[in-house]
Amino acid sequence: MENQEETNTGQHSIKWGVILGLISIIITLVIYLIDITLLAKSGVGLISLVISIAILIYAGRDYRSKLGGYMSFKEAFLHAFVVLIISGFLGVLFNILLYNVIDPGIVPILVEAQMTNTMKAMETFGGGSSEMMDGMAEQFEESFTVIGQAKAFLWLLILYAIGALIIGAINKKKNKEEEF
């Protein structure tokens, strides 16, 4: 029989939230050491997203196995949501440290990389005005501040809820014997 800690949603979610958060931080550090401008590329973000989804599914399946092989949608959703919140919070704390304490000099580099990527995308769709680009540069710069990171985390909570709904649907498994 499993012990209480292994079947406690909170304990398991916190453990996997910390694991996913640390993996995200390591990925960010590796990218930082290789080429900081890669942080502004959507492809790198997509790779990080795929890694996070795989870890979330694995963590949910691990929790489901500790529960005896079955898990309700509610349990699967809550597990994934807590994992995402903890992971996201750790990631935001690290980003605040990186952008404001460890190396504030990278912010202009990242803003420039984001501007370049945005201009390329806008050219594909017919371009944008220079006033519009100046406004975007200010917004990009503000996104690296402590307040900008906190606001982004609040918006991420909505995306985390949507992601947890999807992961919850993937990881749930009904016990057919208990339905009758």
Using pLDDT thresholds of 50, 70 and 90, give the confidence band for residue 174: confident
- Which of these ranges, 31-40, 87-96, 110-119, has the smallest mean pLDDT? 110-119
Q: Can you give the pLDDT at residue 7? A: 60
Residue pair 95/149 in contact by the 8 Å Cβ criterion:
yes
- Which of these ranges, 2-16, 82-96, 97-111, 132-146, has the smallest mean pLDDT? 2-16
Rounded to the nearest angstrom, the gap between the alpha carbon of residue 16 and the centroid of all alpha carbons in its chain is: 13
Residue pair 126/51 in contact by the 8 Å Cβ criterion:
no
pTM over 0.75: yes
- The alpha helices in 35-145, defined as continuous H runs, are 42-66, 73-97, 106-124, 130-142
Tens digits of residue pLDDT in 118-170? 777 777 776 666 666 667 778 888 888 999 999 999 999 999 999 999 999 99
Domain ranges of the chain: 5-175
Q: Can you give the pLDDT at residue 135? A: 75
Rounded to whole angstroms, how far apart are CA atoms 67 and 163? 22
Tens digits of residue pLDDT in 9-19? 789 999 999 99
Q: Can you give the pLDDT at residue 129? A: 60
Residue pair 39/50 in contact by the 8 Å Cβ criterion:
no
Q: Can you give the pLDDT at residue 64? A: 93
Name which residue leads in pLDDT, 27 or 6: 27
User: Is pLDDT at 5 greater than 60 in this prediction?
Assistant: no
Q: What percent of the chain has pLDDT over 70?
A: 89
